[in-house]
Amino acid sequence: MTLDKFATLPYENVVRWRQSGKYGVHQMFYDLGYSSAEYGNQRKMNRVLQILNETFHLVMVAERFDESLVLLKDLLCWDIQDVTYLSINQRPTHTHDAITNTTRDGLLRLSHPDVQIYNFFAHLFQQRVEQFGVTRMAQEVQQLREANRRLTQSCLVDRDDPVRASANMDWPQEVNRLHVRSDRQECVDLAKTELSFLDDVRQTQKIWHKHGWPHLDRGSK
């Protein structure tokens, strides 16, 4: 079935269908633990939005990623170096498929709970930016991008460079790959696959659980 055809189907026909039991319409709504039951009643949907807003201190917005990181940094009392990043797991621009307005409208209809979540938190996000200060935000976004530029220059190497890291870099062929230095752990950690990074986090947690958390004074209360 084509995407154009899928977008014309009634909501009732697709709401319970999920590819591999995971992927389908209103993916955010589903991942947050909700089903079609809350969607059918606007009062219930408003309650869902209220619960989500009370649950999360900050909801980041993908297309405003740098601004989101600045707000996260401020919320956690971090500095710019704590939120610098390398751009990974990106599909090449030429692989992006254009869709018609009709198909777009149909997909928005099928995923309307996600549309409500997005619109609700996008509005709150803009309020957070204004509270933070628009000029201040622009300055700190520029600082972050400059820090990212320096990080990219220090981490990236040519594909044939003998110092290039190869372990835990098994990204799918469909996405752009970065080649980073193997002699800088920061670069390796920022470019490895999500599952590899998650395995490292779990292993570190096991070590801490067994031997005690680091940098803690056990005599303090």
pLDDT tens column, 137-147? 999 999 999 99
CB 64 within 8 A of CB 58: no
Least confident of 31-45, 63-77, 147-161: 31-45
Examine residue 40 and state whether it is found in any structural domain, yes or no.
yes
Structurally, the chain folds into a number of domains equal to 1
- Is 195 among the domain residues? no
Looking at per-residue pLDDT, the higher value among 21 and 209 belongs to 209
8 Å CB contact between 187 and 165: yes
Q: Is residue 137 situated within a structural domain?
A: yes
- What pLDDT score does 149 carry? 96
- 65 in any annotated domain: yes
16 — pLDDT class (breaks 50, 70, 90): confident
Supply the pLDDT for residue 80: 95
The tokens describing 47, both together, are: 């309650």
Q: What integer pLDDT is reported at residue 54 of this predicted model?
A: 96
Instruction: Flag whether 17 is in a domain.
Output: yes
Domain-located, residue 170? no
Q: Identify the pLDDT of residue 220.
A: 45
pLDDT, greater one: 22 or 128: 128
- Confidence class for position 70, pLDDT limits 50, 70, 90: very high
Output the pLDDT for position 137. Answer: 98
Q: What span, in angstroms and rounded, lies between the C-alpha atoms of 72 and 140? A: 12
User: Considering the domain boundaries, does residue 56 fall inside one?
Assistant: yes
- The pLDDT tens digits of the residues spanning 166-209 come to 776 777 676 777 888 889 899 988 888 888 889 989 998 999 88
Q: What pLDDT band is residue 219 in, cutting at 50, 70 and 90?
A: very low
Question: What's the rounded Cα separation, in Å, for the pair 13 and 15?
Answer: 6
pLDDT of amino acid 218: 45
Q: What is the mean pLDDT of residues 71-94?
A: 89
Q: Is residue 161 part of a domain?
A: no
Mean pLDDT of 147-167: 87
Give the pLDDT score at 85. 94
Which residue range forms the structural domain that includes residue 78?
3-155
pLDDT at site 146: 97
Could you tell me which residue, 149 or 196, shows the higher pLDDT? Answer: 149
Q: Work out the average pLDDT over 57-63.
A: 96
